[in-house]
Amino acid sequence: MPAPEGHSPAMGAAAVPEGFHPLDPYDLDVGALKHAPGVLISGMCDQRHLARHREHFDAFLRTGGRMLVNGHVVEAWVTGLPKWRLLEYHGPRDLGITSLSAHPVWDGIDVEELLYRSGPHIPRTREALTRFGVAGFYGRGYLMELPEGSTIINGLGPLRAPIDVEIPVGDGLVVVHAGLDLAIFAHTPGTTLTRFTDNIRNWLGGAA
């Protein structure tokens, strides 16, 4: 994933999470995947460029690799990767997150904390966020045409449309999060969301 300099206090740090090796997508080659247990893909990556490496990504996953994909997938750079579609919504009620299946990446995460984000001067209380926070940063769309064997982890809105899914590919696994990079949510002091970094790293193989 890219590691741009600087950050926005409201959006969170843009740096790569601790324990990850940053790699510019344009420097990607077969060797970069050969010894990595897992790959974290930012939603800011050039998907057309990634699609040029579809064969390498497929091979990486078939042999047991793991991948966490963030953002709006419009170009499938892994065979069968589900694409993003905007959800019709009219307010915060339509953008709430419901946990549908347990998953290590969301272990210990209170999904109700994912609805609102705010600037650094707004207290992280339910009342303050309801009054001043902005809903929908976690995601405003869902994944369609899920491959056979997919597990829906979290649903969006009253329809519980799939926003987070896990997909088996050979001996490997892909988790797709159809929204803002999950690592950004880890920079929210005083909440359960700070667990995201450790959870992501461990699921991708960092514990090994």
The per-residue pLDDT for range 4-35, each reduced to its tens digit, is 444 444 433 346 777 788 888 888 877 878 88
pLDDT range class, residue 63, cuts 50, 70, 90: very high
- Write the CA distances from 162 to 20, 83, 94, 155, integer angstroms: 27, 11, 13, 5
pTM of the model: 0.88
Q: Give the three-state DSSP class for 153.
A: strand
**What residue segments make up the domains of the chain, in order of their start?**
21-204
pLDDT range class, residue 161, cuts 50, 70, 90: very high
The per-residue pLDDT for range 125-160, each reduced to its tens digit, is 767 677 777 889 999 999 999 999 999 999 999 999
- Domain 21-204 coded CATH 3.40.50: yes
The per-residue pLDDT for range 177-189, each reduced to its tens digit, is 999 999 999 988 8
